[in-house]
Amino acid sequence: MAQILTARKLHAQYGAVKVLHGLDFDVEEGGITTILGANGAGKTTTLRAVCAMVKTEGEIHFGGQRIDGRGTENIVRLGVAHVPDGRGTFTHLSVDENLRLGAYVRRDKAQVEEDFERIYTYFPRLRERRRQQAGTLSGGEQQMLAVSRALMLRPRLMLLDEPSFGLAPRIVQEIFEIFREINRRDRVSMLLVEQNAALALKLADHAYLLETGRVVISGPADVIRNDESVRRSYLGY
């Protein structure tokens, strides 16, 4: 199957501090890849590197085009939507207004209106709260809003940074089921960063395990999930 995203010899640094040391990874078109690793392994930085939010070296291709060296907005316009950790919704704006901002680069205004409906079908709870200020939503609802805002871009690839963080298990389950549906129904490819390895390995088809900015293990998610020594040594469950 074709790759929608490939990174080769990817390095990243903050000032003089080097954080990624030559990563190679792929996301298949229509697939879900997860990047796992402990605190500080470089997972968040990997997503930031893809959308040019940190200084990088190496090659990144998206949809057949080379994207390293381009600006973040340019990469967003190609169809890469980033859902950052900490969610990053505009707390003083309503749910509707947050979604409208998600579509700011789009010109197909009629389809934007259709997408409101599509998204509110995925997340009926947001529809009920569409005029409510985002800052007053629960943690789970804010995460749903962050994902929805990214979907308003009609992305081909979503970069999801720890979407389970701080949420109750029941809500996490709900959100991950919706990820699966978005992936299958809308063919949105996903690159998912998670500390919750068990959860991520159930959703993903391919996994990479990072340790201090290097890939130490990679392979099909079900193989990694069923490898007891990997699980015990690296994943802690």
Q: Which residues bind ligand ATP (CB under 6 A)?
A: 14, 17, 19, 37, 39-45, 195
**Least distance CB 60 / ligand ATP (angstroms):** 16
Cβ partners under 8 Å of residue 194, min gap 6: 34, 35, 36, 43, 162, 163, 164, 200
Closest to ligand ATP by CB, 39 or 229: 39
Q: Where are the alpha helices (DSSP H) in 18-128?
A: 43-50, 72-78, 95-102, 109-122, 124-128
CB of 37 to ligand ATP, least distance (A): 5
For the CB of residue 113, give the shortest distance to ligand ATP in the complex, in Å. 36
Cβ of 133: how many Cβ atoms within 10 Å?
16
Q: Where are the beta strands (DSSP E) in the chain?
A: 3-14, 17-28, 32-37, 55-62, 65-66, 80-83, 157-161, 189-194, 206-211, 214-220
We find the least distance from the C-beta atom of residue 44 to ligand ATP, in angstroms, to be 3
Nearer to ligand ATP, 19 or 224 (CB): 19
Residue nearer to ligand ATP on the CB measure, 35 or 67: 35
